[in-house]
Amino acid sequence: MTSASRIPANLPNTPMAPNEPFTVPTALLDDPGGTFAYVCAACYGANVNPLAEKFRRADGKAVTRQAFWTWRQMGKGVPREHEETLIELIDDPDEPFRLASNIELADLLRHPARRGALSNSAHKPKENHHLLDLLSRITASPKHGQSVLNAIREYRGLRDVSSPYLFYRWGWVSGGVPPTYSQPFVSALTAYDVHELYDEFHNEPLEFSDFVRRYMLAPD
């Protein structure tokens, strides 16, 4: 096991073929820095400078090559203020950077600084299985599918949601839809007849909206 503050050894030297699935080794999965280092190497090989440059162009001169090198150290990871750039890179079909099949975007982000057990528990991921089930139903539906998920993201009040991936992050990590997005999210589901995906709400859009508000929103 590589010690903290070091980039992991035995990283891929050549990038994987485009769209070829890959996994992060189990020994690195609990460490955002090690996970990010492996993903960078799998996507770019030994020369990750082009990826560092993309972060610099997107997020400013503060993202130096030295800073980017630090992100890939064990015990580090991508600072959370750069999450939006990560999402944009993942969503870009022409961008080599992509997630391994056994991780989520949150696995690349640096852990918050610990300030005691109470503060640390506040950052513990909170799963909302109702929201995750909703997203699964939408993408699996021949009538709805990924196009409707994209349309929901572009609905008024949700247009600053840069990627549908954030919906999954809300489901896996945030405990549900954040309160600031609750009303436009519910309105978008109604506008695109998502209630039809539930037998019990097939002809009851108002009851479905109440169900979403009750079970799919994150705590205040």
Range with the poorest average pLDDT among 39-53, 68-82, 102-116? 102-116
Phi, psi of 142 (to 5 degrees): -60, -35
Per-residue model confidence (pLDDT) at position 3: 46
Per-residue model confidence (pLDDT) at position 201: 87
Per-residue model confidence (pLDDT) at position 123: 52
Under 8 Å between Cβ of 208 and 198: yes
Can you give the three-state secondary structure of 94-146, one letter per residue?
Answer: CCCCCCCCCCCHHHHECCCCCCCHHHHHHCCCECCHHHHHHHHHHHHCCCCHH
- Please enumerate in sequence order all residues whose Cβ is within 8 A of that of 154, keeping only pairs 6 or more positions apart, or say none: none
Under 8 Å between Cβ of 172 and 127: yes
Count helices and strands in the chain by DSSP H and E runs: 10, 0
pTM over 0.75: no
Per-residue model confidence (pLDDT) at position 118: 44
Residue of 164, 12, 39 lying closest to 96 (CA atoms): 39
Residue holding tokens 């999450």? Answer: 83
Residue holding tokens 């991508």? Answer: 78
